[in-house]
Structure 1
Amino acid sequence: MHTRTVAATVGALLGFSALVLPTPAAQAADSGTSHGPVVVAHRGASAYAPENTLEAIDKADELGTAWVENDVQRTKDGELVVIHDTDLKRTTDVEQVFPDRSPWKVADFTLAEIKRLDAGSWFSPDYAGARVPTLEQYLKRVSANHQKLLLEIKAPELYPGIERQTLRELRGEGWLDWYHVRHKLIIQSFSADSVKTVHKLRPDVKTGFLGTPAVADLPQYAAFTDQINPNYKTVTPEYVAAVHALRGAHWRPLELFTWTINDGPNATRLAGYGVDGIITNTPDVVREATEGDAADAGSGASGSFSGATAP
Structure 2
Amino acid sequence: MHARAVAAMATALLGTAAFLLPTSDAGAGIAVEPPTVIAHRGASAYAPENTLAAVDKAAELGVDWIENDVQRTRDGELVVIHDDNLKRTTDVEEVFPDRAPWKVRDFTAAEIALLDAGSWFGPAYAGARVPTLEQYVGRVEHHHQKLLLEIKNPDLYPGIEQQTLKVLDNEGWLDRQHVADRLIVQSFSAESLRTVHDLEPGVKTGLLGTPDVSDLPGYATFADQINPSYGSLSTSYVAAVHAFSGPHGRPLEVFTWTVNDADTARLVTGYGVDGIITNKPDVVRDAVHGV
TM-score relative to the length of structure 2: 0.88
RMSD: 1.0
- 8 Å Cα contact 1:35-1:291 kept in structure 2: no
8 A contact 1:88–1:105 mirrored in 2: yes
8 Å CA contact retained: 1:35, 1:292? no
Within 2, Cα distance between the matches of 1:113 and 1:126? 23
For 1:127 and 1:174, locate their aligned partners in 2 and report how far apart those are by CA, in whole Å.
Answer: 29
Q: Aligned to 1:70, what secondary structure does the other structure show?
A: strand
Fraction of identical pairs, as percent: 70
The aligned counterpart of 1:10 is: none
CA–CA distance in structure 2, aligned partners of residues 35 and 247 of structure 1: 19
How many residues align? The count is 260
- For residues 98-151 of structure 1, what are the alpha-carbon distances to aligned partners after superposition, in whole Å with 9 as ceiling and x for unaligned? 000000000000000000000000000000000000000001000000000000
Which moves more between the two structures, 127-136 or 284-293?
A: 284-293
Which residue does the alignment assign to 1:119? 117
**Rounded Cα–Cα distance in structure 2 between residues aligned with 1:274 and 1:112:** 45
What is the match of residue 150 of structure 1? 148
1:36 touches 1:292 (CA, 8 Å); kept in 2?
no
Where in structure 2 are there 5+ consecutive unaligned residues? 1-31
- 1:156-175 alignment runs, 5 A limit: 156-175=154-173
Q: Look up the match of 2:200.
A: 202
Mapped to 1, the partners of 2:38 and 2:177 lie a distance apart of 19
Give the drift of 1:183: 1.2
Q: Distance in 1 between matches of 2:178 and 2:107?
A: 32
What is the identity, as a one-letter code, of the residue corresponding to 1:264? A
- How far residue 260 of structure 1 moved from its aligned partner, in angstroms, is 0.2
Q: Give the CA deviation at 1:35.
A: 4.2
Please give the secondary structure, in 1, of the residue aligned with 2:254: strand
**CA deviation profile, 1:152-198 (whole Å, cap 9, x unmatched):** 00000000000000000000000000100001000000000000000
Out of 271, 274, 278, the position equivalent to 1:273 is: 271
- The 3-state SS of whatever aligns with 2:71 is strand
Instruction: Quote the residue 1:181 is aligned against.
Output: 179
The equivalent residue for 1:87 is 85
User: What is the CA-CA distance between 1:200 and the residue it aligns to?
Assistant: 0.3
1:75 to 73, 76, 89: 73
Q: For residue 219 of structure 1, what is the amino acid of its counterpart?
A: P
Q: Map 1:1-311; keep pairs closer than 5 Å.
A: 35-291=33-289
Q: What code does the residue aligned with 2:258 have?
A: T
What SS does the corresponding residue of 1:239 show, helix, strand or coil?
helix
Q: CA deviation at 1:292?
A: 5.0
Gaps of 5+ in 1: 1-33, 294-311
C-alpha displacement at 1:251, in angstroms?
1.2
Q: Runs (4+) of structure 1 moved beyond 6 Å?
A: none
- Match of 2:112, as an amino acid? I
- 1:298 matched residue in structure 2: none
Q: Secondary structure at the match of 1:255?
A: coil
